[in-house]
Amino acid sequence: MSAVNRVWTLASRPEGRVSVDDFAMVEAPLDTGELAQGQVRVRNRLFAVAPTIRNWLNPPERAYRGSIPIGGAIMGMAGAEVLESRHPHYRPGDRMVALSRWEEFSILSPDQAAVPPFPVPPSTTFEEAMGALSPNSLTAYFGLIQIGRPKPGDTVVVSAAAGSVGSVVCQIARILGCRVVAIAGGADKCDWLKAVCGVDATIDYKSEDVAVRLRALCPDRIQIYFDNVGGEIMQAAVDHIAPRGTIVLCGQISAYDTGEPAPGPRDMMKLVYGRVRMEGFVVGDFIDQIEDARDRIRTWVASGELVVRTDVRAGFETLPSAFADLFSGRNQGALLVEA
Amino acid sequence: MSAVNRVWTLASRPEGRVSVDDFAMVEAPLDTGELAQGQVRVRNRLFAVAPTIRNWLNPPERAYRGSIPIGGAIMGMAGAEVLESRHPHYRPGDRMVALSRWEEFSILSPDQAAVPPFPVPPSTTFEEAMGALSPNSLTAYFGLIQIGRPKPGDTVVVSAAAGSVGSVVCQIARILGCRVVAIAGGADKCDWLKAVCGVDATIDYKSEDVAVRLRALCPDRIQIYFDNVGGEIMQAAVDHIAPRGTIVLCGQISAYDTGEPAPGPRDMMKLVYGRVRMEGFVVGDFIDQIEDARDRIRTWVASGELVVRTDVRAGFETLPSAFADLFSGRNQGALLVEA
């Protein structure tokens, strides 16, 4: 164990677009004190650089699940290895994916975590656990299946469809017999969605009018809209939702980096008369079904039906620049940084 | 049968607040021609003057379920008596509550109606059928039970709580063991809600800060918000909704008379992280369960647990002024006009 712990902290609250200058790396003395009962000391090995972290950079009055204070360590999911444990369920050498911090070593309290740690069995790499079997894949799985409740033949529209959640939603919807229309930015992403994810149609929001294309591509309207972005794309989908359609509220990435909250649909009467259900969810609500979900996902991956792409980068020091890339669409698949 | 048919028509589209001048009464020659197969000729006896009619006065581009053309008859639910029938299920003398028109005599096509007619048995008066057992009561019943899905002990907040839907929601919620907070305008309505409907607390939105009062009155937050109004009151309820809370989207009366659609919540991320469900519905979706619902409502009314107030006025010629009263809060209970 080295005597210092490198920690990425919040240097300033981003106003609008996040910048690498909003982060500062500090070298803190390594805490080697005795653990409290229920704590584990871990080495963070692989960090998930996820859009949701952007929410935690906001001030407390705009925070949803915690606001990182100025000077505080950045929170995020990480693949972590237990070094020392005073928790009855964890032993040194155990591996988990946990809500951790952007630092080399952390002390975690699994029982108090907002997102309970997921164990990573010896047969699974951190990259798999944070790729195909990651919280993002599970988010896609539970959001589509439990909230969207697709039936074969449904038209499912997915925004941010090339992302780590969206691309899994697209493929599970296809596997379940739905017609899938994927919205993504740029021809490369759209090509990949068609060629690899097997979606029925794509809309490139950077070069096409989403509302016009949705009307053209969804003659029976939209039974399920899986919303990762909010904003104008959500509005276009609401305007074309089928009677008794469902809007799965997963994320609002269009607003994360603007400094403004993402507003709801312009006309709520459409939801009344359309008998539309909009429902938010978080993956932690389905913890009791996670093993079943992982088994199904593993089977789909093994058969080649489901492809989960990861974008693994090296170097603890690259975390802020990897994070900034998220909001410029420069990543392809789940963005992971190895420490 | 008289030789003329008095008809209230749309003279001009209201911009904002509706006015009696937006309506014109015409005396049309009575259509005594032969009915087509499937049609019935009815005498409209009792008209339900309901806020939803306001939506049909909007131009087609802002219409949800039909837009009345300029010069066209006003549509609305009415208690109607069959005079003549070429429909296999209706005979002269049968009575029904049907989507009809503001005219003395109508020709209806029950099988093509957007809202199927409800039969009114001989033991039931039109006032009962359009009061306690009315589509509004059924809207309250199905919206609360099927969409809200209350559990005993839940805190249920109801807006426009003194209205014909809201007051029934309040009472059914109370009967089902919920804690009920009723939002209404004015001390008289609030007093009535406490004294007669048995709600636990009231908020007078005309004299109190709804957001502040909701926080004070709902220490465990809001499990179900039954939304009849939209706008700022909806926003205050969303801001205080419990995790996994439900927002029943029934109406948006705050916007009906403004000429502008009612927008959704300001910050959709609250719905994501809060795992909030917002769901619209229309009573016609539950047609197969209507007899059960009526039986339960009848039992509650007979035992005195449920009180349904009607405000019956006389005179076909008063329809527009009765309608304008709806939006100034001057009615108490379901507003009905006898022809």
**Residue from A247, A268, A279, A282 to probe the interface with B (highest B Cβ count within 10 Å):** A268
Q: Distance between CA atoms of B237 and B13, rounded to whole angstroms?
A: 32
Give the gap in angstroms from C-alpha B31 to the nearest C-alpha of chain A.
33
**Three-state SS letters, A303-325:** CCCCCCCEEEEECHHHHHHHHHH
- Say if strands A310-314 and A277-280 run parallel, antiparallel, or are unpaired: unpaired
B328: closest CA among B49, B10, B9? B49
For residue A253, what is the enclosing H or E element? Answer: helix A253-256
Out of A230, A268, A285, the one facing B262 most closely (by C-beta) is A268
Out of B55, B265, B273, the one facing A65 most closely (by C-beta) is B273
Band (B259; pLDDT cuts 50, 70, 90)? low
Chain B positions in Cβ-Cβ contact with residue A264 (cut-off 8 Å) = 263-266, 268, 271
**Whether B165 and B240 share a structural domain:** yes
A291 inside domain: no
As for the ipTM of the complex, it is 0.75
What sign has the CA pseudo-torsion A287, A291, A293, A298?
positive
Can you spell out the DSSP letters for A193-228?
HHHTS--SEEEETTTS-HHHHHHHH-TT-EEEEEES
Quote the DSSP letter at residue A48: E
A103: closest CA among A132, A78, A83, A82? A78
Query: For residue B256, is pLDDT > 70?
Result: no
Do the Cβ atoms of B269 and A281 come within 8 Å? no
**Whether B82 and B162 share a structural domain:** no
Q: Distance between CA atoms of B256 and B133, rounded to whole angstroms?
A: 25
B56: closest CA among B335, B262, B256, B329? B256
Quote the DSSP letter at residue A68: P
**Whether A109 and A192 share a structural domain:** no
Query: Mean pLDDT for chain A?
Result: 92
Mean pLDDT of the A55-77 span: 88
Query: For residue B20, is pLDDT > 80?
Result: yes
Conformational region of residue B328, where left means phi above 0, alpha means psi within -120 to 50, and beta covers everything else:
alpha
**Whether B272 and B141 share a structural domain:** yes
* pLDDT value for B1: 47
Mean pLDDT of the A306-311 span: 92
For residue B118, what is the enclosing H or E element? Answer: strand B118-119
* pLDDT value for A83: 96
Bridge partners, B182 (sequence order):
B158, B202
- Closest residue, chain B, to A238 (C-alpha): B264
Do the Cβ atoms of A262 and B269 come within 8 Å? yes
Task: For residue range B64-86, list pLDDT tens digits in order.
Answer: 678 999 999 999 999 999 999 99
Share of chain B above pLDDT 90, in %: 73
Q: Distance between CA atoms of B331 and B202, rounded to whole angstroms?
A: 19
Query: For residue B177, is pLDDT > 80?
Result: yes
**Whether A176 and A105 share a structural domain:** no
Chain A positions in Cβ-Cβ contact with residue B278 (cut-off 8 Å) = 271, 277-279
Band (A148; pLDDT cuts 50, 70, 90)? very high
- Closest residue, chain A, to B285 (C-alpha): A275
B296: closest CA among B73, B133, B177? B133
Contact call for residues A139 and A165 (beta carbons, < 8 A): yes
Contact call for residues A38 and A87 (beta carbons, < 8 A): yes
A182 inside domain: yes
**Whether A321 and A279 share a structural domain:** no
A32 inside domain: yes
Residue A206: CB atoms within 10 Å: 12
Mean pLDDT of the A215-221 span: 97
Out of A265, A269, A285, the one facing B64 most closely (by C-beta) is A269
What sign has the CA pseudo-torsion A150, A134, A313, A6?
positive
Residue that is written with structure tokens 């003279």 in the block: B11
Contact call for residues A121 and A21 (beta carbons, < 8 A): no
CATH number of the domain where residue A25 is located = 3.90.180.10
Can you spell out the DSSP letters for A103-120?
BSEEEE-GGG-SSPPEE-
Mean pLDDT of the B284-303 span: 91
A297 inside domain: no
Can you spell out the DSSP letters for B200-252?
SEEEETTTS-HHHHHHHH-TT-EEEEEESS-HHHHHHHHHTEEEEEEEEE---
Out of A269, A274, A276, the one facing B262 most closely (by C-beta) is A269
B333: closest CA among B314, B305, B307, B315? B307
Mean pLDDT of the B228-247 span: 95
Task: For residue range A6-57, list pLDDT tens digits in order.
Answer: 999 999 999 888 999 999 999 999 988 899 999 999 999 999 998 889 989 9
B297 inside domain: no
**Whether A146 and A276 share a structural domain:** yes
**Whether B144 and B266 share a structural domain:** yes
**Residue from B58, B228, B260, B267 to probe the interface with A (highest A Cβ count within 10 Å):** B267
Q: Distance between CA atoms of A263 and A322, rounded to whole angstroms?
A: 28
Q: Which amino acid is located at B338 in the chain?
A: E
**Whether B111 and B252 share a structural domain:** no
Band (B135; pLDDT cuts 50, 70, 90)? confident
What sign has the CA pseudo-torsion A131, A134, A140, A142?
positive
Mean pLDDT of the B303-321 span: 94
* pLDDT value for A256: 67
B123 inside domain: yes
A315 inside domain: yes
Do the Cβ atoms of A285 and B279 come within 8 Å? no
Backbone angles phi, psi at A43, to 5 degrees: -105, 125
**Whether B156 and B126 share a structural domain:** no
How many domains, chain B? 2
Share of chain B above pLDDT 70, in %: 97
- Closest residue, chain B, to A139 (C-alpha): B272
Q: Give the CA-trace dihedral at B58, B60, B64, B67, to 10 degrees.
A: 70
Bridge partners, B312 (sequence order):
B336
Query: For residue A257, is pLDDT > 70?
Result: no
Give the gap in angstroms from C-alpha B236 to the nearest C-alpha of chain A.
14
Task: For residue range B183-209, list pLDDT tens digits in order.
Answer: 999 999 999 999 999 999 999 999 999
Band (B238; pLDDT cuts 50, 70, 90)? very high
Residue A50: CB atoms within 10 Å: 23
- Closest residue, chain B, to A285 (C-alpha): B275
CATH number of the domain where residue A212 is located = 3.40.50.720
Give the helix ranges, DSSP H, for chain B: 53-56, 126-129, 135-142, 166-175, 187-195, 210-217, 231-239, 253-256, 269-274, 290-303, 319-326
Q: How far is CA A268 from CA B60, B186, B198, in A?
A: 17, 26, 30
Do the Cβ atoms of B249 and A272 come within 8 Å? yes
CB-side neighbour CA atoms (13 Å) of B38: 5
- Domain coverage including residue A139: 135-284
Do the Cβ atoms of A263 and B262 come within 8 Å? no
Query: For residue B168, is pLDDT > 90?
Result: yes
Backbone angles phi, psi at A7, to 5 degrees: -135, 130
* pLDDT value for A116: 79
Do the Cβ atoms of A249 and B271 come within 8 Å? yes
* pLDDT value for A1: 47
Distance of CA A302 to the CA centre of its chain: 22
Task: For residue range A86-110, list pLDDT tens digits in order.
Answer: 999 999 999 999 999 999 999 999 9
Band (B2; pLDDT cuts 50, 70, 90)? low
Out of B266, B281, B282, the one facing A263 most closely (by C-beta) is B266
- In angstroms, the first-to-last Cα distance of chain A is 14
Q: Is A230 helix (H, G, I), strand (E, B) or coil?
A: coil
**Whether A202 and A268 share a structural domain:** yes
Angle (CA) A225 B271 B166, round 5°: 100
Bridge partners, B280 (sequence order):
B249
Mean pLDDT of the A288-296 span: 92
- Closest residue, chain B, to A262 (C-alpha): B267
Give the helix ranges, DSSP H, for A69-208: 126-129, 135-142, 166-175, 187-195
Contact call for residues B131 and B308 (beta carbons, < 8 A): yes
Position with higher pLDDT, A310 vs B64: A310
Q: Is A192 helix (H, G, I), strand (E, B) or coil?
A: helix
**Whether B212 and B316 share a structural domain:** no
A308: closest CA among A269, A335, A279? A335
